[in-house]
Amino acid sequence: MNNSVFLAEMTHKEYSEKVAGDNPVVFIPVGAIEQHGYHMSMNVDVILPSAVAEGVAKQVNGIVAPPVVYGYKSQQRSGGGNFYPGTTSLDGSTLVAVIKDILRELLRHGVRKFCLVVGHFENYAFTVEAIDLFLREARMLGVDDARVMAFSYWEFCDDPDVLKALYPGEQESWAAEHGGVFETSMMLYLRPELVNMEAAVLHSSARFPVYDMFPAHKDWTPEPGTLSCPAGSSAEKGKMILDDCVAGITEVVKKEFA
């Protein structure tokens, strides 16, 4: 028997039996291919929510569906901007359609409990729109027992000791987190081979006006694309973040899908 929590690693027989027998929560990571500075790979927003989803799924006997790899367009004040080479984005309507179609297919398989783990800030509103359209469609098909949870995984990193370790005396870095200590530490713990700290650029946290310009003023974003400095990142901090997020998410998933 395959003990993997990943849908794609199961046979269709193993998957269908688990769905029919356990009524599991199915987790869908919703990420992006987006630059994360000179020191990290561009799949950070896929790796991190997938790892969180895996950790929670193991606690609640859930299943992790393949992630949505591409996300909505990187915005300058949250992701550095959509003008960096390699950042590969979808139109909002495309992202909504992809998420909705995945949810509908899982519903067809018999899944009724869904959890969307957002790993890219810009994806959230489109994720919510997809859920709304999906539930409307499900009701039209006569299915009224589908339930969906959605969240950005980093919202569950709220242990004061973890935050103090991440940002000692510099809480403003949290607002400018993109390729900084938070994400870099998680990557050092989960995929250290995709991090090169020697290439990390040390700089002050980005400061943006309270409005956006289109086309963007590229010089508003620090040159490497990171919005806060990754100095002080460590695998130990990454484990603290992951453990904190998994614990908090596991608690609410058990509560809402009991």
Active site residue 183: yes
Catalytic, out of 45, 54, 177, 244: 45
Catalytic, out of 39, 177, 178, 244: 178
Active site residue 122: yes
Report the candidate in 122, 34, 35, 129 with the shortest Cα–Cα distance to residue 77. Answer: 122
Report the candidate in 197, 219, 195, 196 with the shortest Cα–Cα distance to residue 207. Answer: 219
Catalytic, out of 39, 54, 177, 183: 183
Catalytic, out of 36, 39, 54, 177: 36
Catalytic, out of 34, 172, 219, 244: 34
Active site residue 223: no
Catalytic, out of 54, 120, 177, 244: 120
Q: What share of the chain is helix, strand, coil (3-state, %, to 5)?
A: 50, 10, 40
Active site residue 105: no
Element (H, E) at 26: strand 25-30
Element (H, E) at 72: strand 71-72
Could you tell me how many residues make up the chain? 258
Active site residue 120: yes
Amino acid at 143: V
Q: Indicate which residues carry an active-site annotation.
A: 34, 36, 45, 120, 122, 178, 183
